[in-house]
Every structure is written in C-alpha cells, then in structure tokens.
C-alpha cells in the first residue's frame, strides 16, 4: 500500500457489471455463450433491425433477483426498463435497454473485513438489469475496425455500491466477496478473463472530517482485481497531490493503462441527462409478485459465511481448511455431500481428504471439484476403510485414491489387487518389529539414551518392511513394548 498524506481520506465506490449465466440473451433467443466465431450468435432483435420487439428473458429476471437477494437487496413490486441513448459503433440500436429510476433490486449490502480488522457492511445502492453492448476490435496496424455483435444484448446485472470503501485493499476484498456470493448464487461465472465481470471504479478524496465528498473520477473497465487496487492507489495519490498543490479535481472518466501503471483522462464524465433516458416503449412495467420473489429465494443455497461458521463451529474444522472449503461452492457442496454420506466419520478427516485428494486434483486439472471423477460416495468409502483400520491413511492417499482416479475401479477391488490391507495382526508386526530392532542398533541406542524421536525412525522401518501395510499405531505400540522389555 502506497503511503499518502494521512490528513486526507479516500472515498471509493464500485460499479460492477456481471454477465448473467443464462442460456440465451436478454431480449431474444440467441445463445449467451463465450468464445463463438464473431457474429454467429445474432438476430434481428439483438442487432437492432427496424420493426423488431424485445421479449424479456424470464431466466435473466430470475437470476438477477437471485443475485439481488444474495446481496440482501429488496425487490420493489414494480420494475421498468428505460432507453439509455448514446452513439457507439458497437451499439447498432443507438441505445441500450437499461433501468433508470425503477431498478429491479435496491438497498442491499455486502459484509467485508475492513482495514481495521472489523466486519463492515458496504451498502449496495442498486442492482439493475441491462443489456450488454457489442465489441469493437481494432486489428493491429490496419486502417479499419471490426465489430462483433455476439455480446450484444447479453444480460448484465449492474451492481452499484455506496461510497463506503476507504482503501484499495478494501475494494479488492469487496470484489472477492462479491464474486464468491454471486458464484454461490449461480447467477454469474464472474470470470474477468472472459469478460463476465467488469469493474468501474469511482474515487474521490477529501480532508479527514470533512462531511462533503470531493469531486469523483471514474476509472473505466479495469481488467483485474489487482489492477483495480493499482488504479485506486494511483488516483488517491494523484488527487491528493493535485489538491495540495492548489489544483482542483475535475469530474471525468479516466482509463487505466496497465503498462504505464497510470490512469489517463478519456473524456469529461457524462451526467445522467447526457443519456436522455426515457421509458422503453416496447416493454411494459413489470409487476414482481411476492410469490415469485419467494420462489427465487428458495433457490439460494446456504451462503459461504454460514457454511464457514458451521464447519468451524459444529464440526471443529480448522479456519484455514474451512476458508478453502467455502471458497468455491462446488467444493463446499462436495464436502457437505461427504458429511451426509459419511455419518459417524470424523468431519476433520473428511475435510482433509476433500482438500488433499479432491481439490488438489481439481486444481491440478483446472476443473471444479464437481468434475473430478471421484464421487463423494467413493471418497467416503475410502475414508471408512481408513477409519476401520482396513488400510492406512497413507496407503489411501498415496496408492488407493490415485488408482481409483486412474482406473475407475472400485475401492474394494483395488485394495485387493494392490494388496493394501493393513496388517493389524500383532504376531506379524511383532516379528517384523523384532527384526527391525535387531538391525538398527544405532536408533535403538539413541532411543535408550533418551532420544524419544528415535522411535519414529524405527516405526518408519517397520512400515517399510511391511510395504506400508502395518498399522502404524500398532507398530509403535509393539516397538515400545519390545524396547521396554530390553
């Protein structure tokens, strides 16, 4: 964090656009899918041909409300669409259908950890539906530009925070939480690289204690959470220096230039009246019934904070493990399914296996826990084999689970095929332990001289001699007995 004059206070608000995870676009039946060849997912409606009419996508409305409810917004009974007029090559209609004075969701909040270490609620002023614009492409060194309208009219939710953030780090934490919550709600993928989450940043500065806000500057389309932080830090310093040297901050839109690590002026900031908003005449005002909102609310899963609290509180899972388990809903859902199937098993042990053998594979392959070809049923079966002392935990991790992933065979079959059954037969282990003691005079001598750790080397040798099949706790017990006998 860059240091700045502490008599000043930054004031930050974020406007985040997320693409909603619908199958089709907001007002037509064209596919909402990323990565298709340019201009292959378009029709008369989303390219703004004369005489066409928009039809609202109910699933988009549903996902937008689901996201709003996850952000603790309320949903007013009436919602309406408006035309936001501006001219740009990627906007064939000459206007965007958006929402002006009657947005779908209002008055929510998102809890984040403040810089002072205390939880703080960042207000969400509104979260409204609108359609995306197309994309202009400027091929390098060519004298022309291209337009791709596949993105045109994809449903967006614009989530506007209050001016409640006070540092770049807080803004970053807000974005992390927002992404986490929206992904849990399955409202959006929130993948910045695919453009399904985009962020505009509003920054102003004021003297500490001044009740009035300073003039704000908007930084557009910053392309990563890290760069949101950098752009905010740059603006805080720039504005404070400007004010201190007797200048005034001008209300404007700026652009973040990654390579230069700086923002540069793009244009003076538009006011709402510059867009000549007026009600969309081709769509009615919609009435959102309580029954519809309640039905959408019932689709929301248990949210990450609640799950984390349950794992740490009722299940005694460590905070670090709980954080990793709830970071993605697929991982948490996987763990919850294991808990359900593995009644009577130690939740901490189950968590270790989910993190060590499922999430690790998911990360390695770049997939989600739900797509790892190891079902919770199978994992629980393996953990039961460990809990019942049929196989050692080490054999489960290092041999059995990798073999299941590789061959798809059942745990029971592989335990036999690989000869993984743990030896818990006292006689067999005693015989091996006696040999190990005879062959390791040095470790035995050290143990007798009071070096307790030396027993670990002896247990290790018993494990090795048994090809990893001895029950390690029993091996330790038997070694101690034999050594005590002299």
- Least distance (Å) between residue 242 CB and Zn ion: 46
Structure tokens at 340: 């359900």
CA 264 to chain CA mean position, Å:
30
Beta carbons within 10 angstroms of residue 475's beta carbon:
25
For Zn ion, give the closer residue by CB, 45 or 479.
45
Nearer CB in complex with Zn ion: 25/230: 25
Contacts of 333-341 spanning 24+ positions with Cβ under 8 A: 333/301, 333/369, 333/370, 334/358, 334/369, 334/370, 334/376, 335/311, 336/307, 337/376, 338/376, 338/379, 338/380, 338/383, 339/315, 341/376, 341/377, 341/380
Q: How far apart are alpha carbons 59 and 43 in whole angstroms?
A: 19
Q: Does 97 bind Zn ion (CB under 5 A)?
A: no
Segment interacting with Zn ion, rule: CB under 5 A, options 29-37, 117-125, 233-241, 304-312: 29-37
Q: How far is the CB of 278 from Zn ion (least distance, A)?
A: 23
Cβ atoms within 10 Å of 451's Cβ, excluding its own: 12
C-alpha count within 13 angstroms, C-beta hemisphere, residue 263: 31
Contacting residue, 20, 21, 26, 28, with Zn ion by CB under 5 A: 28
Cβ closer to Zn ion: 54 or 304? 54
Nearest distance, CB of residue 46 and Zn ion, angstroms: 3
Nearer to Zn ion among residue 45 and residue 73 (C-beta) = 45
Nearer to Zn ion, 59 or 252 (CB): 59
Instruction: Closer to Zn ion by CB, 44 or 456: give it.
Output: 44
Distance CA 404, CA 123 (A): 48
Question: How far apart, in Å, are the Cα atoms of 309 and each of 124, 261, 285, 425?
Answer: 24, 39, 41, 42
Piece of the chain touching Zn ion by CB under 5 A; list 28-36, 120-128, 224-232, 442-450: 28-36
| 206 DSSP β-pair partners | 9
Would you say 132 or 158 has its CB closer to Zn ion?
132
DSSP 334-380: HHHHHHHHTTTS-HHHHHHHIIIIIIHHHHHHT--GGGSSS-HHHHH
Q: How far is the CB of 40 from Zn ion (least distance, A)?
A: 11
Closest separation in Å from C-beta 45 to Zn ion: 5
Stretch that binds Zn ion, among 45-53, 140-148, 240-248, 345-353 (CB under 5 A): 45-53
Query: Which CB sits closer to Zn ion, 51 or 141?
Result: 51
30 binds Zn ion (CB under 5 A): yes
Q: Measuring CA to CA, how many Å separate 416 from each of 98, 99, 410, 422?
A: 63, 64, 10, 11
* Total residues interacting with Zn ion, rule: CB under 5 A: 5
3-state secondary structure 185-242: CCCCCCCHHHCCEEEEEEEEEEECCCCCCCCCEEEEEECCHHHHHHHHHHHHHHHHHH
> Among residues 30 and 474, whose Cβ is nearest to Zn ion?
30
Q: Which stretch binds Zn ion (CB under 5 A): 36-44, 131-139, 220-228, 334-342?
A: 36-44
Q: How far is the CB of 282 from Zn ion (least distance, A)?
A: 15
CB 267 within 8 A of CB 233: no
Which of the ranges 24-32, 143-151, 314-322, 341-349 carries the binding residues for Zn ion, by CB under 5 A?
A: 24-32
**Smallest distance, Å, CB 28 to Zn ion?**
3
Considering only 43-51, 57-65, 142-150, 440-448, which stretch makes contact with Zn ion by CB under 5 A?
43-51
Q: Between 24 and 331, whose beta carbon lies closer to Zn ion? A: 24
Q: How many CB atoms lie within 10 A of CB 359?
A: 22
Per-residue x/- marks for Zn ion, 55-84, CB under 5 A? ------------------------------
* Least gap, CB of 41 to Zn ion (angstroms): 7
CB of 51 to Zn ion, least distance (A): 14
CB 228 within 8 A of CB 199: yes
Of 16, 18, 46, 199, the residue at the interface with Zn ion (CB under 5 A) is 46
Closer of 45 and 64 to Zn ion (Cβ):
45
Tell me how far, at minimum, the Cβ of 338 lies from Zn ion, in Å: 43
Interatomic CA distance for residues 92 and 45, integer angstroms: 10
Phi, psi dihedral angles at 158 (to 5 degrees): -100, 120
Q: Which of 5, 31, 34, 43 binds Zn ion (CB under 5 A)?
A: 43
Q: Taking the complex as a whole, how short is the minimal distance between the CB of residue 98 and Zn ion, in angstroms?
A: 18
Is 154 one of the binding residues for Zn ion (CB under 5 A)?
A: no
Is residue 34 within 8 A of residue 194, CB to CB? The reply is yes
Which chain residues interact with Zn ion by CB under 5 A? 28, 30, 43, 45-46
């Amino acid at each position: 964090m860059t240091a700045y004059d502490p008599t000043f206070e930054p004031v930050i608000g974020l406007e985040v656009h997320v693409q909603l995870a619908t199958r089709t676009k907001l007002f037509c039946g064209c596919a909402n899918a990323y990565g298709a060849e340019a201009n292959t997912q378009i029709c008369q409606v989303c390219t703004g041909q004369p005489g066409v009419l928009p039809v609202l996508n109910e699933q988009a409305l549903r996902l937008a409300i689901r996201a709003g409810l996850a952000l603790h917004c309320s949903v007013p009974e009436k919602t309406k669409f408006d035309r936001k007029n501006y001219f740009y090559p990627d906007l064939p209609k000459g206007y965007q259908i958006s929402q002006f004075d009657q947005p779908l969701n209002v008055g929510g909040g998102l809890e984040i950890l403040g810089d002072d270490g205390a939880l703080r609620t960042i207000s969400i002023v509104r979260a409204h539906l609108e359609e995306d614009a197309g994309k202009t492409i400027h091929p390098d060194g060519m004298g022309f530009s291209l337009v791709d309208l596949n993105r045109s009219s994809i449903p967006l939710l614009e989530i506007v925070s209050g001016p409640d953030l006070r540092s770049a780090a807080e803004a970053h934490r807000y974005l992390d939480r927002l992404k986490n919550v929206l992904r849990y709600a399955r409202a959006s993928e929130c993948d910045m690289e695919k453009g399904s989450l985009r962020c505009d940043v509003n920054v102003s500065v004021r003297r500490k204690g001044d009740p009035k806000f300073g003039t704000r500057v908007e930084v557009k389309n910053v392309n990563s959470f890290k760069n949101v932080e950098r752009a905010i830090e740059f603006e805080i310093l720039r504005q404070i220096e400007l004010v201190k040297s007797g200048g005034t901050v001008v209300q404007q839109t700026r652009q973040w230039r990654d390579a230069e690590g700086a923002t540069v002026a793009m244009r003076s900031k538009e006011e709402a009246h510059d867009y000549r908003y007026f009600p969309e005449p081709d769509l009615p005002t919609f009435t959102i019934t309580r029954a519809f909102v309640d039905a959408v609310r019932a689709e929301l899963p248990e949210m990450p904070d609640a799950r984390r609290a349950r794992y740490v509180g009722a299940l005694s899972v460590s905070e670090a493990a709980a954080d990793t388990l709830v970071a993605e809903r697929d991982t948490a859902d996987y763990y919850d399914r294991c808990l359900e199937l593995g009644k009577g098993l130690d939740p901490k042990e189950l968590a270790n296996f989910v993190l060590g053998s499922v999430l690790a594979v998911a990360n390695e392959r770049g997939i989600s826990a739900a797509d790892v070809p190891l079902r919770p049923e199978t994992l629980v079966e393996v953990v039961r084999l460990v809990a019942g002392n049929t196989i050692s935990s080490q054999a489960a991790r290092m041999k059995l689970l990798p073999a299941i992933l590789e061959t798809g065979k059942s745990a029971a079959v592989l335990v036999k095929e690989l000869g993984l059954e743990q030896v818990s037969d006292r006689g067999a282990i005693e015989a091996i332990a006696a040999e190990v003691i005879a062959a390791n005079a040095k470790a035995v001598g050290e143990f007798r001289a009071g070096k307790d750790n030396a027993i670990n080397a002896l247990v290790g040798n018993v494990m090795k001699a048994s090809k990893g099949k001895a029950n390690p706790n029993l091996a330790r017990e038997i070694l101690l007995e034999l050594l005590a006998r002299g």
